[in-house]
């Protein structure tokens, strides 16, 4: 994929800043940087020919072996692991290019570690990779090198010590033939066995529907699949606009999954519906209504998702994605998830633009569509003729709707991108558009929602020539008399 000079320069600068951090934060024995084109470690941290050669950051982790935690000797056996973080060519700008992470076990340093210690380290490496990769996925589209390295250090201090503890406990059980925690308490002699009461933890089967503005990034789709496997959840993930995730499994695991997903960067994400079913003495899997593994559905498979839910007798759960709630008194069925709070999270912000002309209509509209989708905004483009005379040049209006920062992001790109062609067919900047109404929350009622849904269902939303009266009615419904007067002034 070819990158423009500005983007390539941004990638180079941001990667170089992270690599400079590696050089300053670690000694050459602890961490170093290697380019694909270099044959060994670099004396100077640099980035060259981005997009062709990948940059690899090596972090050497030393794992203390068994029985030596807290030892003051200088000959502590260590198990050495090299963690390799690879920066793809478009990292960290592109959300589909997270850090690539691998790890390998090296020979022991100092006094030789035991074979059992090395075997346990081999078993622990997948857990290390999982912890680091999840952090990298949470930070797609931004610098992740520091947080991944910090997570690796945290893993050594915490999770690795648990592996040592578990190995020691297993060895004790094997040597004594009993579990240390099951040894008889001397003070318990003479007590009746029926005095010990075990209260089993209540198991709840949960089904939860998560609504997102969109799910497109490959890294997020991969994270959804990996997290659902890690927490033993099933269900569906419908990608595209909007994004719908339905998870089914043990309630605690569903909540952990949702916490992990929400920690990523989203345009908008919220839990809109849930159903809770006490399992009792039943096997949880016997009560599942959805596949036991997460299935991904395409952008055009919303109707398929609805059919799957209907066949499972869970149509009400699906309807919560459209804010259609079956209000009942039973707390274990689908219910409204604080709509007032959700409506406060997302406020519709609008900007109305008059475009003088589009020499390359198809490419110009395609650029607007792509810019809006990448920013998570809606776009409505309408044309009309003065006095409804089709012999005249059309008057073009573009309406942008979304969150304030995202709409402003589109406007900034619009003013600095080559979106059209000049009379000679050469790409050119847009110099003749006029911003009629910039900013301000638009009227948020059912009429505007219907217009937005129409815009979301098509490429640009009602992209056709319309009459002057219809034009006025449409923009009055969105922004009131201020928008209507702005349109009238431009037409006159």
Query: How far apart (Å, rounded) are the C-alpha atoms in residues 283 and 377?
Result: 44
Third-level CATH fold of 204-344: Alpha-Beta Plaits (3.30.70)
Q: Which pLDDT tens digits describe the chain residue by residue (492 residues)?
A: 445 677 788 888 888 888 887 887 788 888 999 876 554 554 444 444 334 467 899 999 988 765 544 444 444 467 889 999 999 888 888 877 888 999 988 754 444 566 777 788 888 898 999 889 988 888 888 888 888 998 898 898 888 888 877 766 665 555 555 444 444 444 444 444 444 444 455 688 999 999 988 888 888 999 999 999 989 999 999 998 778 999 999 999 999 899 888 888 887 888 989 998 888 767 788 889 999 999 999 887 888 898 899 999 998 898 888 766 665 444 444 444 444 444 444 457 889 999 999 999 888 988 888 888 766 678 888 888 888 888 888 899 999 887 777 788 888 889 888 899 988 888 888 888 899 998 766 766 555 666 665 555 444 544 567 788 888 888 888 888 888 888 888 877
Task: Name the nearest CA neighbour of 223 among 239, 208, 241.
Answer: 239
Where do we find the tokens 């694909």?
36
Task: Name the nearest CA neighbour of 456 among 363, 377, 384, 375.
Answer: 377
The structure tokens listed for 28 are 């050459």
The edge-to-edge listing of strands for the beta sheet with 349-355 is: 378-384, 395-402, 349-355, 434-441
Per-residue pLDDT at 449: 61
CATH architecture of 347-491: 2-Layer Sandwich (3.30)
Query: How far apart (Å, rounded) are the C-alpha atoms in residues 442 and 100?
Result: 43
The structure tokens listed for 127 are 């857990």
pTM of this structure:
0.41
Query: How far apart (Å, rounded) are the C-alpha atoms in residues 232 and 210?
Result: 17
Per-residue pLDDT at 340: 41
pLDDT 10s digits, 105-120: 875 444 456 677 778 8
The residue length of the chain stands at 492
Query: Identical fold at 204-344 and 347-491?
Result: yes
Per-residue pLDDT at 290: 94
pLDDT 10s digits, 399-452: 988 777 778 888 888 988 889 998 888 888 888 889 999 876 676 655 566 666
Give the 3-state secondary structure of residue 355. Answer: strand
Where do we find the tokens 């998830």?
337
Give the 3-state secondary structure of residue 24. Answer: helix
Per-residue pLDDT at 35: 79
Mutual angle of helices 361-375 and 404-416, in 10-degree steps:
150
Task: Name the nearest CA neighbour of 235 among 335, 314, 134, 299.
Answer: 314
Per-residue pLDDT at 112: 53
Domain 5-169 has CATH 3.40.50.150: no
Do residues 134 and 260 make contact, with C-beta atoms less than 8 angstroms apart? Answer: yes
Query: How far apart (Å, rounded) are the C-alpha atoms in residues 266 and 268?
Result: 5
Task: Name the nearest CA neighbour of 287 among 330, 332, 248.
Answer: 248
The secondary structure of 45-96 as a DSSP string is ----STTTS-EEEEEEEEEE-TT-TT---S---EEEEEEEEEE-TTTTT-TT
Do residues 214 and 376 make contact, with C-beta atoms less than 8 angstroms apart? Answer: yes
Q: Per-domain residue ranges for the chain?
A: 5-169, 204-344, 347-491
How far does Cα 486 stand from its chain's mean position?
A: 38
In 217-268, DSSP assigns E strands to: 234-238, 243-250
List beta partners, residue 1. Answer: none
For strand 234-238 and strand 269-278, is the pairing parallel, antiparallel, or unpaired? unpaired
List beta partners, residue 209. Answer: 246, 273
- CA atoms in the 13 A half-sphere facing the CB of 318: 19
Residue 108 is given by DSSP the state -
């Amino acid at each position: 994929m070819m990158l423009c000079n500005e983007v390539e320069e941004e990638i180079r600068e941001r990667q170089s800043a992270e690599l400079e951090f590696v050089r300053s934060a670690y000694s050459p024995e602890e961490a170093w940087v290697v380019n694909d084109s270099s044959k060994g470690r670099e004396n100077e941290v640099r980035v060259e020919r981005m997009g062709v050669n990948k940059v690899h950051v090596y972090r050497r982790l030393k794992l203390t072996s068994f029985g030596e935690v807290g030892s003051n000797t200088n000959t502590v056996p260590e198990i050495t692991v090299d963690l390799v973080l690879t920066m793809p060519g478009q990292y960290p700008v592109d959300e589909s290019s997270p850090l690539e992470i691998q790890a390998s076990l090296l020979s022991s340093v100092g006094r030789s570690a035991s074979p059992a210690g090395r075997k346990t380290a081999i078993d622990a490496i997948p857990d290390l990779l999982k912890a680091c990769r999840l952090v990298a996925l949470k930070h797609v589209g931004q610098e992740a090198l520091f947080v991944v390295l910090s997570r690796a250090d945290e893993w050594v201090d915490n999770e690795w010590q648990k592996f040592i503890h578990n190995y020691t406990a297993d060895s004790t059980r094997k040597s004594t033939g009993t579990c240390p925690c099951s040894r008889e308490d001397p003070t318990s002699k003479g007590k009746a066995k029926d005095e010990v009461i075990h209260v089993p933890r209540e198991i709840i089967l949960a089904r939860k529907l998560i609504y997102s503005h969109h799910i497109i990034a490959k890294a997020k789709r991969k994270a959804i699949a990996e997290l659902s496997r890690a927490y033993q959840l099933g269900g569906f993930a419908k990608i595209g606009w909007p994004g719908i995730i339905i998870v089914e499994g043990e309630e605690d695991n569903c909540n952990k999954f949702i916490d992990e997903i929400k920690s990523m960067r989203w345009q908008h994400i919220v839990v809109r519906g849930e159903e809770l079913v006490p399992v009792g003495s039943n096997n949880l899997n016997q009560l599942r209504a959805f596949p036991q593994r997460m299935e991904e559905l395409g952008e055009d498979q919303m109707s398929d998702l609805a059919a799957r839910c209907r066949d499972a007798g869970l149509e009400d759960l699906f309807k919560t994605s459209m804010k259609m709630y079956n209000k009942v008194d039973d707390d274990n069925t689908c219910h409204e998830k604080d709509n007032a709070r959700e409506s406060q999270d997302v406020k519709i912000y609008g900007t109305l633009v008059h475009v003088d002309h589009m020499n390359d209509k198809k490419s110009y509209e395609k650029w607007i569509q792509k810019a809006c989708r990448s920013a998570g905004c809606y776009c409505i483009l309408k044309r009309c003729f003065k006095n409804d005379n089709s012999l005249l040049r059309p008057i073009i209006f573009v309406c942008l709707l979304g969150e304030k920062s995202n709409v402003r992001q589109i406007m900034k790109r619009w003013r600095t991108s080559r979106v059209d062609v000049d009379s000679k067919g050469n790409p050119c900047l847009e110099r003749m558009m006029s911003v009629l109404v910039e900013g301000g929350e638009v009227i948020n009622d059912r009429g505007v929602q219907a217009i937005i849904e129409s815009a979301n269902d098509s490429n640009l939303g009602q992209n056709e020539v319309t009459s002057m009266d219809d034009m006025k009615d449409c923009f009055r419904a969105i922004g009131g008399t201020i928008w209507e007067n702005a349109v009238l002034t431009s037409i006159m």
